[in-house]
Structure 1
Amino acid sequence: MNEAADAPLDCDVLVVGGGINGAGIARDAAGRGLRVVLCEQDDLGAHTSSASSKLVHGGLRYLEHGEFGLVRKALAEREVLLCSAPHIMRPLRFVMPHDPARRPAWLVRAGLFLYDRLARRAFLPASRAIVLAGHPAGAPLKPAYARAFVYADGWVDDARLVLLNALDAHERGATVLTHTRCVALSRGASHWSARVEGPEGGRTLRARCLVNAAGPWAARLAQLATGAASAQRLRLVKGSHIVLPRLFDHDHAYLFQHPDGRVVFAMPFEGAYTLVGTTDVEYGGDPGRAAITATETAYLCELANRYFRRQVGPADVIWSYAGVRPLLEDEAASASAATRDYLLARDTRGAPLLSVFGGKITTYRLLSEQAADWIGSRLGAARGAWTAHAVLPGGDLFGPAPDSRAVREFGRWVAALQGRHPWLPAPLALRWARAYGSRVATLLSGAACLADLGPEVAPGLHAAELRYLLRHEWARCAEDVLWRRSKLGLHMGAEGAAAVRDWIATELARVEGAVPA
């Protein structure tokens, strides 16, 4: 889906960085009638934005650091996001076992009371206290934990959230250039000139406004753009997660408190697994090469062992991932206490430059809206803010407008899908429904039986889906498919991954080598 690279390209807005903030800004700006180019050096969401804890949440722990404004802002966005993409997001209940040595019960209750009321809730339930002995969440825990508190937040497929924003931007007229690096920038009074290099070679772009959404590389890109070091300092913090064999059978998640003051989540993941994370470690290396260390792995296992009856060690880890978060430098004593808020740095000394520093997934839409408001005011956008009342691709399960019914009745929608296609295996129907929402219709177009989906290239992965991902979602290799467009890599061995790799190579060679009639 990369555009041809044989001619200069003029646009209103050049967004550099294909993570969640860059994709969100590209989508919002394109929806306002602006000509947008989104340029990403790797795959969409390849780094920080696909290495999160996968939560749509207010950030309960941020209340302890006095970040009431950030928490309120994030809480107000939770249900907006859940309704906009009910296929890739869902409500999730969290169980927080009470450890009297950490915080008295009255303080936890007070924090949850505030968390419930800082922003309006339309359908997420209020927090409550439970006795663990009478609750399914108590069975996997050590008997020392007798009481707990339960509260609601949301879960999101972070990599697909980035992808759907880029896809919406593309369908609204934006040009999306993946695996394309911005290597040079020149600023004029009214235009930017950018040199980018991609799979088809180099090309020059002219843009009326430049958006620096390069995440951990934002300070470096700001210096490339202006020739001077950025005034805004970023604190690069690595967060790592581990995936373990399933430690519990119920559908709740856990929030655990460590004696060092950090909190760590343990969440149901991909049916057969439990996701545990995250760490907060100061990082000074290349953000593109971030990886979990043995110390971090041991730390997360130790914390899990503090709470769960079943004990685990590094040898039990099935998979791990790490990402570098670019946090605003606020002189906090520890990385875990550093703010997760964002800053939009506006520079009008010539053609407009907007740099995005910091942020978190839950506030990406609001950040994008504020960014597009400013861009629109500078460039004369034809339309104002619109994303609060729009769904992402595939989210229109019960109509074109966001609807909490799609969140509350997702299971009913899946059942109806299976009723229309009884030949579709139930696990495949559910996975496709979660990944593609209403766009399952595109994958199923013309199919009347399982054989119509083409050969099963690897377990649960048919040729029809692979072609869809290559044609519509910028997938270019097996890793794109198995670890970002899906998490099928967890469910298949090396033989299956090799089969996917070979199939994609053959398909790309066939398509790209075809001679038009």
Structure 2
Amino acid sequence: MSEPENIDVLIIGGGINGCGIFRDLSAQGVDCVLIERDDFCSGASAASSRLMHGGLKYLETGEFGLVREALVERNRLLANAPHYVSPLPTILPLRSHFSGIWPSVKRFFRFKAKMIDRGSLITRAGLLVYDTYGRRHKSMPFHRILNRKALQKLVTGMDSDIIAAGLYYEGQLTHAERLGLELLLDGEKLNPGSRAINHAHVIGTQGDCVTYQQGDSIQTVRPRIIVNAAGAWIDAVNHELGIKTALMGGSKGSHIIVEHRALYKALNGHMIYFGTADGRVNLCYPFMGRVLIGSTDIPVEDPDTARCDTQEVSYMLGTMREVFPDVDISEEHVRYRFCGVRPLPRADGDIGLVTRDHSIAEFTFGPSTPVLCLIGGKWTTFRSFSAEAAWRILAHLGKPRRTKTEDMAIGGGQDFPRNPADRTRWINRVADVSGLPAGRVGTLLRRYGTTAERIAMTCTEETMLRSLPDYSSEELGELCRSERVGTLADLLLRRTLIAMLGRLTAEVIEETAGIAAAALGWSNRRRVLEAVSVPLGEPAAYRQIDDAVTFKAHG
């Protein structure tokens, strides 16, 4: 057996918290190994509402610090990841002027209270606080209160009981999975001594060493520090390390993507963020030509069993009828459904009142190796949470911080053309050097940001897919070769939005399996297995099966 590899930090978990801390530490010259049992950003990080937001509802529970932090980070992401994060005008419907004051007071002091309606008075107060906290790096307009007539000009068909609305702005995240991947790829560029490995899992420990396996490759490392960034699986990972904890108390959140032309048109580019009769807050907004609707908030013990079930789909469709009563929407309009388990700290009582803030718990592995568990957090605050954790790790290692990440662009957001004139120039330049039509380069820019130039240079002679005429075999082959694609699901669910936009068919699976097989050297047997392993009915429920692991090693 070979000697263990000495490394600075082992990160277990490739969700957004793990990706963020990997990039931050790599930028400081810290040698990191990140392992993820499935694919990067395949758990809760792939199943959020895809918003970069402050969290208006968290003001009701007194989490002012979290809201302030999230709004600052939202504004930074609009600057650092403009290829995937963009402003989203948001409508908050109002059915009264004075409702919600007393329930808000009770919730502020952590008493249980159902918030059925938020009147204009409490809404205006909350939006004023929101504007104040969002002044730093301000990139979007302040809020406005609209009367019914003004609201009708923006969004049509809303329930007649809605008398007014608040109009404010949040950030929309189109391709969460790719943004997480880009953090890892950026981290490896910043420090060639770091590496991120997907489809790898811990198989044993001894002393101060950890052994993990990817396919038929087994590696043992001796880390100076371990970061447990496994989200809802933190306690399970701690158990593998011989540490008994009960830190996590997850909540299942489900969403659906619907194809409904009338609803999409009525929204007119706006998100509707609304309270429902059961006291929850829900949302819907235009997403890549469809409509994203969410979400539920259900306690769950085992995150591996979480699925978006038919009752949740019915619930979410029902909430839409409360706001758009004349829109005929049913399950036949659903193109995709997905769920994730929020990595919340274990707590008693109403799951909706459990903090969404982040924290770090520290334990010891083996004789003296620190284990930092990253608990909670939101997509919006991943950078600041990573910075907080990095400071603690650097102190343990006795290393200085070389660089800050506040203004560090991410992946395809680097040198991204910010206005139409600059985009046209960028597209024309890449079209000239690649030989691709300008329209095709524009499509690649929308999908990948400035990473599109690298992809375009591999697509000088393209063969467009029969089943997906706006994708080419060269484009998908380049993603397979350069972006750690380990399974067909990695390609269809995370490197692209093919599955999420409801474009997954038997023909798509068959054709893309052939492309992946050619790019990655899969055997015919492996290609067939990958094709049948992606379920058409509910692709987001995909979990890599044991046979797939076997064939990854031998095929």
Provide TM-score, normalisation by structure 2. 0.83
149 and 429 in structure 1: CA distance in 2 versus 1, 3 angstrom threshold: farther
Alpha-carbon shift at residue 146 of structure 1 (Å): 3.6
| Mapping for residues 251-266 of structure 1, pairs under 5 Å | 251-266=269-284
* 3-state DSSP of counterpart to 2:412: coil
| Mapping for residues 322-471 of structure 1, pairs under 5 Å | 322-331=339-348, 333-347=349-363, 350-397=368-415, 409-420=418-429, 421=431, 424=436, 428-445=440-457, 452-456=461-465, 458-471=468-481
Q: Deviations over 1:338-374 (max 9, x none)?
A: 1111111133671221111111111110111111111
Q: Deviations over 1:105-137 (max 9, x none)?
A: 111111111111124242111111123444443
Matched, 1:123 2:139: yes
447 and 275 in structure 1: CA distance in 2 versus 1, 3 angstrom threshold: closer
Aligned to 1:479: 489
* 3-state DSSP of counterpart to 1:394: helix
* 3-state DSSP of counterpart to 2:95: coil
Aligned to 1:223: 239
Alpha-carbon shift at residue 219 of structure 1 (Å): 1.2
Do 1:87 and 1:437's aligned partners in 2 also have CA atoms closer than 8 Å?
A: yes
Matched, 1:169 2:179: no
The residue identity in structure 2 corresponding to 1:106 is: L
487 and 446 in structure 1: CA distance in 2 versus 1, 3 angstrom threshold: closer
Aligned residue among 287, 290, 295 for 2:306:
290
Cα distance in 1 between the residues matched to 2:381 and 2:458: 39
Do 1:160 and 1:485's aligned partners in 2 also have CA atoms closer than 8 Å?
A: yes
Aligned residue among 191, 198, 201 for 1:178:
198
Aligned to 1:92: 88
Aligned to 1:238: 252
Alpha-carbon shift at residue 493 of structure 1 (Å): 2.6
Matched, 1:110 2:122: no
Alpha-carbon shift at residue 382 of structure 1 (Å): 4.8
Q: Deviations over 1:230-260 (max 9, x none)?
A: 2x53111000001111312221111011122
Aligned residue among 155, 159, 168 for 1:151:
168
Cα distance in 2 between the residues matched to 1:59 and 1:39: 30
The residue identity in structure 1 corresponding to 2:195 is: T
Unaligned runs of 5+ in 1: 399-405
Aligned residue among 208, 219, 222 for 1:203:
219
233 and 242 in structure 1: CA distance in 2 versus 1, 3 angstrom threshold: same
Aligned to 1:315: 332
Do 1:477 and 1:501's aligned partners in 2 also have CA atoms closer than 8 Å?
A: no
Aligned to 1:50: 46
Alpha-carbon shift at residue 56 of structure 1 (Å): 0.5
Aligned to 1:401: none
Aligned to 1:402: none
Do 1:456 and 1:463's aligned partners in 2 also have CA atoms closer than 8 Å?
A: yes
Do 1:24 and 1:165's aligned partners in 2 also have CA atoms closer than 8 Å?
A: yes
Aligned to 2:516: 504
Cα distance in 1 between the residues matched to 2:439 and 2:160: 35
Alpha-carbon shift at residue 430 of structure 1 (Å): 4.3
Do 2:146 and 2:166's aligned partners in 1 also have CA atoms closer than 8 Å?
A: yes
The residue identity in structure 2 corresponding to 1:387 is: T
206 and 453 in structure 1: CA distance in 2 versus 1, 3 angstrom threshold: farther
Identity, % of aligned pairs?
A: 32
Do 2:202 and 2:240's aligned partners in 1 also have CA atoms closer than 8 Å?
A: no
Q: Report the count of equivalent residues.
A: 488
120 and 71 in structure 1: CA distance in 2 versus 1, 3 angstrom threshold: same
CA root-mean-square deviation: 2.4
Provide TM-score, normalisation by structure 1. 0.88
Aligned to 1:74: 70
510 and 262 in structure 1: CA distance in 2 versus 1, 3 angstrom threshold: closer
The residue identity in structure 2 corresponding to 1:176 is: A
Alpha-carbon shift at residue 145 of structure 1 (Å): 2.4
Do 2:441 and 2:456's aligned partners in 1 also have CA atoms closer than 8 Å?
A: no
Alpha-carbon shift at residue 509 of structure 1 (Å): 1.6
Aligned to 2:105: none
Cα distance in 2 between the residues matched to 1:82 and 1:108: 25
Unaligned runs of 5+ in 2: 100-116, 527-555
Alpha-carbon shift at residue 7 of structure 1 (Å): 7.6
The residue identity in structure 1 corresponding to 2:127 is: L
Cα distance in 1 between the residues matched to 2:15 and 2:439: 29
Cα distance in 1 between the residues matched to 2:471 and 2:239: 44
* 3-state DSSP of counterpart to 1:209: strand
